[in-house]
């Protein structure tokens, strides 16, 4: 079945460092891809999405490009802030059911 694999964390960075969180997927067809973020004590929030190959999703300085040839959707940010500390989830939409399949999540800690 469809699945999502994310790099394991935790990831610890200093403020203003460059961030990459790797995400690859296995799917039949071309699902929509998403990044969600979960701040401590809260639910998930949609960060960005891409619905077709070569689409770039972006929001709050974060970007991710839908790469069909490498089945990847890596999350990047040029300069992280302490406020970006959270758990990040990569997800795809199951084409059969429409429901989201999530990766295990990557915890990011940004130190001042």
> Which residue among 12, 26, 45, 79 contacts another protein (CB under 8 A)?
45
Contact between 105 and another protein per CB under 8 A? yes
Is the C-alpha dihedral spanning 46, 47, 51, 53 positive or negative?
A: negative
Distance in angstroms (rounded) separating the CA atoms of residues 101 and 32: 11
Torsion of CA 62, 66, 67, 71, to 10 degrees: 100
Contact between 57 and another protein per CB under 8 A? no
**Per-residue DSSP letter, 70:** T
Shortest approach of another protein to residue 106 CB, angstroms? 11
Asked if the bond preceding 10 is cis, omega within 30° of 0, the reply is: yes
> Which residue among 51, 79, 81, 83 contacts another protein (CB under 8 A)?
51
> Which residue among 29, 70, 98, 112 contacts another protein (CB under 8 A)?
98
Stretch in the footprint of another protein (CB under 8 A) among 15-23, 55-63, 69-77, 95-103:
95-103
CB 91 within 8 A of CB 36: yes
Contact set with another protein (CB under 8 A): 32, 36, 41-46, 49, 51, 89, 93, 97-105
């Amino acid at each position: 079945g469809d699945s999502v694999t994310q790099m394991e964390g935790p990831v610890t960075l200093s403020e203003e460092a460059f961030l990459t969180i790797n995400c690859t997927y296995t799917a039949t067809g071309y699902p929509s891809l998403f990044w969600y973020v979960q701040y401590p004590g809260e639910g998930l929030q949609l960060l960005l999405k891409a619905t077709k190959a070569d689409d770039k999703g972006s929001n709050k300085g974060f970007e991710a490009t839908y790469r069909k040839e490498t089945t990847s959707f890596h999350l990047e940010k040029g300069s992280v802030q302490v406020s970006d500390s959270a758990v990040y989830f990569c997800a795809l939409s199951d084409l059969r059911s429409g429901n989201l399949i999530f990766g295990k999540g990557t915890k990011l800690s940004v130190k001042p």
